[in-house]
Amino acid sequence: MSARYGMVIDLDRCTGCGACMMACAAENNVPPVPRATPRTGLTPMLVRKVSNGGEGVDRREVFIPIMCMHCERETPCVGVCPQQAVEVDKATGIVMQMPQRCLGCRYCMTACPYHARYFNWWDPQWPAGMEKALNPGVAVRMRGVVEKCNLCHARLHSATQKAAATGKREINPADYVPACVEACPTAAIRFGNLADKHDPLSLEVRSPDTFRFLTRLGTEPKVYYKSKEAWVRALAESNSGSGVETKRG
């Protein structure tokens, strides 16, 4: 049975600690880029700090982790790639990026409304000794190609292999948890299979407090957000919120 992996990120729980960003970088061999600016760094998971624009007691702030939304319909980045380096995996619903085939034209980056795609502006380099901590299950990307969140696909691969070794076709859900979900100290990021009606995530996305960004574009993102704050939920659509980004990363 095909899966539809997705997430719910509870913004009321997010403290902006950045553990998800660090876990993502460590899991996916994202190199440190000392010369990067906030707009040239590699951050497949990026925590953005947004305020309601108020002052004093009226001021409210929220941390919003932004990542690839794994759009399900009319996926903006898939149709534009000239050499099929981006595809939606029908078995999992994960939007996959193949850096080995990427030309580095960055057309997919202009197509993404969530700005969740990143270009390798520099050669990947690690401080001496740090290369020993690289994850052997994830290929390092070279300079000049685009990358993004793939829901820790290497972990899915390991889970599939583990299931196959025991003669099973389906993976054990406990064996496949993305690094950011695992690292979040407040359990603000929840992960699951939206195609499974019994998955807690499928129930959670029906909550009136959940929302997705830019749903009117019709791309059906599979990353949901959750908040009891009305002004936070109002950020969902472009012209309905009045959020101001105050800090990122």
Partner 1 sequence: MASSVLADSRWIARGAERTSLPQFLLWLAPWAVVLAAGVYAAGLCLFYGLNQTNMDNRFAFGLWIFLDLGMIALGAGAFFTGFLVYILKRVELKPILNSAVVVGFICYSGAIAILMIDVGQPLRAWFTFWHPNTHSMLTEVTFCISCYLLVLSLEYLPILLRNRQLRKLPSFLVFEHQLHNLVPVLAGVGALLSFFHQGSLGGLYGVLRGRPFAFREGFFIWPSTFFLFILSAIASGPSFLILVTAAVEKVTGRRLVPQELFRRLGFISGVLLAIYVAAKSIDTLIWLNVTSPSVGFAPWQYYIYKPFGTPILFTEIVLLGLLPAFLLTYPRSASRRRWLLTAAALACAGVLLNRFVLTVQTLALPTLAFDEFLQYTPSWQEAASFGGVIAYGVIVYSLSYRYLPLFAQPKGQNTHVPGN
Closest to partner 1 by CB, 120 vs 160, is 120
Residue 16 engages partner 1 in binding (rule: CB under 8 A): no
Q: Nearest distance from residue 107's CB to partner 1, in Å?
A: 5
Question: Cα 175 to the chain's mean position, in Å?
Answer: 19
Closest to partner 1 by CB, 114 vs 176, is 114
| Residue in 89, 106, 138, 202 binding partner 1, rule: CB under 8 A | 106
| Residue in 34, 35, 90, 129 binding partner 1, rule: CB under 8 A | 35
CA distance 201 to 37: 35
Count of positions on this chain that bind partner 1 (CB under 8 A): 62
Residue in this structure with the two tokens 């059906």, named with its chain if needed: 220
Q: Which two tokens stand for residue 42?
A: 């590699």
Residue 216 engages partner 1 in binding (rule: CB under 8 A): yes
Residue 203 belongs to what H/E stretch?
Answer: helix 200-204
Residue 168 engages partner 1 in binding (rule: CB under 8 A): no
CB-based contact 163:175 (threshold 8 Å):
yes
Closest to partner 1 by CB, 49 vs 162, is 49
Which residues are within 8 A (CB) of 35 and not within 5 positions of it... i.e. 6 or more apart? 122
Residue 180 belongs to what H/E stretch?
Answer: helix 179-183
Considering only the stretches 124-132, 137-145, 185-193, 204-212, report the one whose residues sit in contact with partner 1 under the rule CB under 8 A.
137-145
Residue in this structure with the two tokens 């929302």, named with its chain if needed: 211
CB-based contact 158:134 (threshold 8 Å):
no
Q: Nearest distance from residue 224's CB to partner 1, in Å?
A: 15
What is the four-CA torsion angle of 149, 155, 160, 163, rounded to 10 degrees? -150
Residues 50-89 touching partner 1, rule: CB under 8 A, are 50, 64, 74, 76, 79-85
Q: Nearest distance from residue 101's CB to partner 1, in Å?
A: 6
Q: Length of the chain in residues, anyone? A: 249
Q: Nearest distance from residue 24's CB to partner 1, in Å?
A: 16
Closest to partner 1 by CB, 108 vs 201, is 108
| Residue in 103, 130, 164, 203 binding partner 1, rule: CB under 8 A | 103
CA distances to 12, 158, 170, 198, 249 from 93, rounded to whole Å, are 27, 18, 15, 18, 27
Q: Nearest distance from residue 59's CB to partner 1, in Å?
A: 15
Q: Which two tokens stand for residue 133?
A: 């901590």
Q: Which residues bind partner 1 (CB under 8 A)?
A: 35, 37, 39-41, 48, 50, 64, 74, 76, 79-85, 101-107, 109-115, 117-123, 142-146, 213-219, 234-245
